Amino acid sequence: MIEIKDLSFGYGKNNVLQNFSACFEKGKLTSIIGTNGSGKSTLLKTIVGILPLNTGGILIDGTELSSLKPQKIAKRISYLAQGKNTPDMTAFQMVLHGRFPHLSYPRRYSQKDRDAAYSAMERMGILGYADKSMVSLSGGMRQNVYIAMALAQDTDYILLDEPTTYLDISHQLHLMKTLRTLAADGKGIITVMHDLPMAFNFSDNIAVVSGGKAVICSSPKEVYNNGVIKDVFGIELNYSQNEENYYYGYNQK
């Protein structure tokens, strides 16, 4: 479990996160939602140690984040940033770099690392694209390669910053289903989302961030019933249910 206690962080004099507290569990898909500039991406970067925390603390499975070196953090948490470069390398090379935190100097990939990379690609259904250049792949396929890289990293938690951005709807759905499967396999998935219905329909938990604080972190149904969506976003969600499924959508009124 990732436990965040009274976390504060700011760029210069601007406090982005203030006394932020929340818990993210393994085996759950948690979506972080909030308005632009509310501190969602900052939160992910702080959890993974890219940004320092001013006050408060983060525990990763009981270990204080500040006591871990970057390489140790990368063995526990993989992080896919929002604006990703598209390097001119093959999909396989890209996925293989997911094994980077597991290497020590001189960092040379072993057959075990290659096997892990192939296995991750196979799991994502992109083995056939191993020799394709990243530049030649579609946005959806690239996203799959990045997730395969995170799988090759072999961590308990995967953090994704707006993974559905720039993807068409079929690729968005495919991605969210994949994340659900990974959560079902025991990984803790934490993803920043802007598409509220997508977040509500696929997540186990929703964390609503506003003004640098976690307003609520609970199941979609509880968040829906709480009425916080209207307060934070100024819009309403619809909820419908049939015998097998329930579905959230935007209220058109």
Partner 1 sequence: MNNFMESCKNKKIVLLYAAAITFLIVSFFLGIMLGSTYVSFTDIWGAILNHNGTGSGARIFWYVRLPRICACLVCGGALSVSGAVIQGVLANRLASPSILGVNSGAGLAVILCTAFEVYGGWQLSAFSFLGAFAAVMLVSICSRKLGASRGTVILLGVALNSLLNAVSDTVITFNPEVGFMSSNFKIGDFSAVTYNKLIPAAVVVIVTIVVLFTLTNELDVLTLGDDNAKGLGMNTGFMRTLFLLFAALLAGCAVSLAGLLSFVGLIVPHIVRRISGNKASHLLPLCAIFGAAFVALCDTISRTVFSPYEIPVGIIMAFLGAPFFIFILVKGKGGHARD
Binding site for partner 1 (CB under 8 A): 45, 48-50, 69-75, 78-89, 93-94, 97-98, 100-101, 103, 105-111, 135, 153
Smaller CB distance to partner 1: residue 36 or 111?
111
Task: Tell the smallest beta-carbon distance from residue 133 to partner 1 (Å).
Answer: 8
Nearest alpha-carbon partner for 24 in 8, 55, 54, 46? 46
CB nearer to partner 1: pick between 87 and 227: 87
- Give the nearest distance from C-beta 117 to partner 1 in angstroms: 12
Rank residues 29 and 44 by Cβ distance to partner 1 and give the closer one: 44
> Would you call 10 exposed, middle or buried from its count of C-beta atoms within 10 A (0-12, 13-18, 19+)?
middle
Nearer to partner 1, 166 or 247 (CB): 166
Q: What are the φ and ψ backbone dihedral angles of 89, each rounded to 5 degrees?
A: -140, 165
CB 77 within 8 A of CB 157: yes
Structure tokens given for 148: 């395969």
Tell the smallest beta-carbon distance from residue 63 to partner 1 (Å). Answer: 15
Q: How far is the CB of 92 from partner 1 (least distance, A)?
A: 11
With beta carbons less than 8 A apart as the criterion, state whether 196 and 237 touch: yes
223 φψ region: left (φ > 0), alpha (ψ -120 to 50), beta (else): alpha
For partner 1, the closer CB: 124 or 150: 150
Residues in Cβ contact with 85 at an 8 Å cutoff, skipping those fewer than 6 apart = none
> Cβ distance 126 to 99 under 8 Å?
no
Taking the complex as a whole, the smallest distance from the CB of residue 37 to partner 1 amounts, in Å, to: 18
Of 66 and 251, the one with the shorter C-beta distance to partner 1 is 66
Residue with smaller CB distance to partner 1, 100 or 239: 100
Interior/surface letters 116-137, b for 16+ CB within 10 angstroms, e for the rest = bbbbbbebbebeebbeeebeeb
**What is the closest distance, in whole angstroms, from the C-beta atom of residue 178 to partner 1 in the complex?**
19
What's the closest the beta carbon of residue 182 comes to partner 1, in angstroms? Answer: 17
